[in-house]
Structure formats: C-alpha cells, structure tokens
Amino acid sequence: MSISSALSTALTGLAASSRMAEVTASNVSNALTEGYARREVQLSARTLGGTGVGVAIKGITRHVNHVLLQDLRLSTSGQGARDMTAGFLSRVEASVGTPDNPASLSARIADAFFPPFFMPPSMIAPPDDTGEMSDTGGSDTGSTGEAESTGTDGGAAADDCCTAHDGPGCADATIEACVCAQDDLCCSSSWDDVCVSEVASFGCGTC
C-alpha cells in the first residue's frame, strides 16, 4: 500500500469519526426534547478493486416506532379534517342563521313548510266573544258589537268572513288568525275580496 493510499484510508476514518461525534452530541443535547428520535450513523467498508480503502458513511438512521408514527399521522390528518369541517359549518350557520332567529333563512323555510294554520287548535287564539250577537239583546245591539269587533263601517255583514268589507279582520278569530298569518294586510288594512278567497286557499275555512 502506498503512502497516499494509507493517508486516504485514514482520512475516511477521521471523517466517519467526526460525523459519529456530531450525531452523538446531537443525541445527548436533545435527550429531553419531546418528539426527538435518537439517530445513529450507518457505516460500511469502502473497497477499490477488492482492496479495502477506508470506511464509507451510508447514512443516518432515526430510531422511531413506525406504528406510533403512523397513528400520529392519521390522528393529525383527522383532526385537521374535523377543524376544517367545523369552520365550514360555522360559516354556514353565520350566513343562514339559527332557527330561533325570525329573520334567519332557516326560520323562513320553517314558516314556508309549516305555516301557522297547521298549528293545533289549542295553539290558536280562541274567538272573541264580544263580536257575537247577544241572545238577550236586540238586533241593533248585536250589530253594534259585531261592527266594533271587525272594525267595519257597517256596509257588510261583520260576522261573515266570506264577505268583503272595508274594515280589517272578521268576526271569526280562528279564520282571521289563520289568514292574517299569511297576509297581514287583511288585519291591518281591509278585509277585501283577496282575503275572502284566501280563507279557502289557505285552508282556514270554507266560503
């Protein structure tokens, strides 16, 4: 072996020793670091023409539990997916609104598919007895009470929700509540022909 070959072989050994010392120092300094995996230098013999000419560094191996590493990656990706879904649903809720908010889209959809006239009778206000004709009073007294309950001018039969008149509402509080829940003008302006037609179309009664 020539002197140059000997020096080259010694130089590879020094390089391998330096690298091993560096990795060992890193392992010691990070011994208490959470998530740090111990590293180890992999060496192999270097040959030339069947003759050994020193040592070669194959690489650095990290000692980890591959099963735990796979579980960690799966958990991290799953958590990221759940966070993204939660953020998306939060934005949808902020845009659409919640059912307890009358101005929200969900509340409007609920009102469209479940209108108030589908409510059971127990949830609808009972008829106002002041608009009914008294059995003991005269015909003039009954007409006066009916006119006051319906707000008419006396030009139409106040106790008939199937007759158009100038005043708002009609004598039958159940029909009135059902129609006005869909068309509030019938109770704020006048009980016109449109309101009369809505009695049947809304399923509030028959005319």
pLDDT tens for each residue of 186-202: 888 888 888 888 888 88
Which amino acid appears at position 164 of this protein?
A: A
Comparing 16-25, 79-88, 89-98, 171-180, the range with the smallest average pLDDT is: 89-98
In this prediction the pTM is 0.34
Asked whether residue 12 is assigned to any structural domain, the reply reads yes
Question: Do 46 and 71 belong together in one domain?
Answer: no
Q: What share of the chain is helix, strand, coil (3-state, %, to 5)?
A: 55, 10, 35
Q: Identify the pLDDT of residue 74.
A: 92
Residues 6+ apart with CB under 8 A from 105: 96, 97
Which residues constitute the domain of residue 147? 120-201
Asked whether residue 207 is assigned to any structural domain, the reply reads no
Asked whether residue 102 is assigned to any structural domain, the reply reads yes
φ/ψ region of 110 (left if φ > 0, alpha if ψ in -120 to 50, else beta) reads alpha
Asked whether residue 130 is assigned to any structural domain, the reply reads yes
Question: Do 79 and 145 belong together in one domain?
Answer: no
Among candidate residues 39, 43, 48, 38, the one with its CA nearest the CA of residue 58:
43
User: How many domains are there within the chain?
Assistant: 3
pLDDT tens digits, residue range 130-150?
544 444 444 444 444 443 444
